[in-house]
Amino acid sequence: MEEPQNDTVAGLPCGRGGGCNGSDSKPQTPPLLVDAWLVPVFFAAIMLLGLVGNSLVIYVVTKHRQMKTPFCLTESCLTFPANLATTDIIFLVCCVPFTATLYPLPSWVFGDFMCRLVNYLQQVTVQATCITLSAMSVDRCYVTVYPLQSLRHRTPRMAMAVSIAIWIGSFGLSVPVAVYQRLESGYWYGPQVYCTESFPSAQHQKAFILYTFLAVQLLTERAEAVRTRISRMVMVMVLLFTICWGPIQVYILLQALHPTARRSYALYKVKIWAHCMSYSNSSVNPIVYAFMGANFRNVVLAVRLPDFRVPSDFLLSPFTY
């Protein structure tokens, strides 16, 4: 999550309207832009849709285990979707509301600790989503290539071990975000406080941004490489993740490579669109399950309607990835 920089806060470059002149004796009111209310409304819609959808996924996983039905022959078909739903819920609750306040408010008002925590959790959840999607691709490929061996190796203990490893790895790889995030003072229609990344050097910042960018790109290339051996659902989820997070990653990468490039309101609107795209990814997976996973719909009906009889051709998983 990026705080608007000192030279272009809320999308208006310094000098436009005289608002960035620190020597102004008379305090001025920041202009009320459309994005100040439109983006928070969009984020609220994403939160509502995402929380309902991902909570339903976790509910289905929990009830499915309690029902002891034959839908899922291996634990991984439940663990990985539950992992994705958990990352999305954490992201929606811990990151989206704070980011939404950046548009109507000119300053970061939550203090240094929350500045570090919010950005750290955002990086952790994105990292965990990326690794989980990779694990789903590898898992499905393994089932297709080695169907008999997979029944022996894809155990509940293995699924839990992979899930724990994903979270440990995500927490560890995201530490630089918490370490190098800090509050900085600036001026835009009065003194302001911004939550920004401050790496030891430009090289450190570029290296970390490049790593994040490559992580998303390699996920897509990996899925493309084994696309004939993974299900359409996994492929669609990987492509949606890339489409949603790709634009903001490209924007941040170009910004790091060309820090002296002139910023404009038009470029800021592109950044807003990219942010909205990336945040909307947290609400799309349950929609994919609902439209592409016939088993998911049947398990929902089986959970809600005890007398509902599941068709005999839906035997493996409520997610069938």
- Predicted pLDDT of residue 265: 76
Closest listed residue to residue 73, CA positions, set 132, 147, 136, 164: 147
* Residues of the chain above pLDDT 90, percent: 18
Report how far apart, in Å, the C-alpha atoms of 102 and of each of 92, 106, 134, 199, 300 are. 15, 7, 32, 22, 38
According to DSSP H, which parts of 95-110 are helical?
A: 96-100
pLDDT of residue 236: 83
Instruction: Give residue 154's pLDDT.
Output: 72
Query: Could you say which residues of the chain have pLDDT below 70?
Result: 1-32, 64-77, 150-151, 216-231, 292-321
pLDDT at 297: 66
197, 180 contact by CB (below 8 A): yes
Which residue intervals of 95-146 are DSSP H helices? 96-100, 111-145
Q: Is the pTM of this model over 0.85?
A: no
The total of structural domains in the chain comes to 1
Residue 210: domain span: 33-304
- Residue 215 belongs to domain with CATH number: 1.20.1070.10
For residue 209, give every residue at least 6 positions away whose Cβ sits within 8 Å of its Cβ, in sequence order, or none. Answer: 252, 253, 256
Whether residue 27 is contained in a domain is answered as: no
245 part of a folded domain: yes
- The identity of residue 157, as a single letter, is R
Q: Are 207 and 121 in contact (CB under 8 A)?
A: no
Residue 310 domain-assigned? no
In a domain, 24, yes or no: no
Does residue 287 belong to any structural domain of this protein? Answer: yes
Q: Nearest CA to 131 among 158, 162, 156?
A: 162
Query: Is 196 inside a domain boundary?
Result: yes
How would you classify the pairing of strands 191-197 and 8-9?
A: unpaired
For residue 320, being part of any structural domain is answered with: no
Residue 314 within any structural domain of the chain: no
Task: Specify the pLDDT at position 255.
Answer: 81
Q: Give the tens place of pLDDT for each residue, 239-293.
A: 888 888 888 888 888 887 777 777 777 888 888 899 899 999 999 888 887 776 6
